[in-house]
Amino acid sequence: MDLPLQVIVNNEIETKRIAEKFALLLKEGDKVLLNGDLGTGKTFFVKNVCVKYGIDTVTSPTFSIVNEYTGQKKIYHFDFYRIKKTVELFDIGFEDYMKDREAIIFIEWAELVPEVLPKKCYTIQFNYINETKREIFIKKNE
Ligand SMILES: Nc1ncnc2c1ncn2[C@@H]1O[C@H](COP(=O)(O)OP(=O)(O)O)[C@@H](O)[C@H]1O
Ligand SMILES: [Mg+2]
């Protein structure tokens, strides 16, 4: 997969295909920031990346803030949607999660807490077009 990538996907199967290709790029220590409105497919995307690593139990971390998984890779999956103050992240040990070089970290709604985000990361923007169509824009930031 060559980046940056900007595509229109017509359905879930096409999103899944992109997630599977993206999964092959990721290495331990990588951070992936996912932005886009509710229901645009951020969780769906992470779920399908994780399936590639033998993890098929991914659920939305909206209420838990962070979910952890271990398969062929170790995964921390955050959702900042309900975070009101940066201190709430520090309370749950966000800095320690970010320091773990063995894990791949996904953060949904990353843009809601910009002050804690790494510069070196992948960003994925999801835009809703219609019920099954989305625009997906994946970029690598050094
Ligand atoms: N092309 C598509 N890509 C991703 N999800 C899609 C697509 N078409 C329909 N959907 C549906 O949209 C919803 C996306 O939900 P979710 O991944 O939880 O969104 P978010 O995490 O961005 O709030 C799911 O119900 C999924 O089945
Ligand atoms: Mg979600």
- 3-class secondary structure per residue, 20-70: HHHHHHCCCCCEEEEECCCCCCHHHHHHHHHHHCCCCCCCCCCCCCEEEEE
Q: Tens of pLDDT along the chain (142 residues)?
A: 999 999 999 999 999 999 999 999 999 999 999 999 999 999 999 999 999 999 999 999 999 999 999 999 999 999 999 999 999 999 999 999 999 999 999 999 999 999 999 999 999 999 999 999 999 999 999 9
Spacing, Cα 100 to ligand 2 middle (Å): 23
CA distance 78 to 11: 25
CA distance 129 to 9: 9
Output the CA angle 31-3-23, nearest 5 degrees.
Answer: 50
Spacing, Cα 121 to ligand 1 middle (Å): 23
Ligand number, closest to the Cα atom of 61 = 2
What residue ranges do the domains of the chain occupy?
A: 5-141
pTM of the model: 0.98
| Ligand 1 contact via 136 beta carbon (within 6 Å) | no
Ligand number, closest to the Cα atom of 15 = 1
- For the structural domain made of 5-141, what CATH number should be given? 3.40.50.300
Spacing, Cα 41 to ligand 1 middle (Å): 3
Contact 111, 98 (CB under 8 A): no
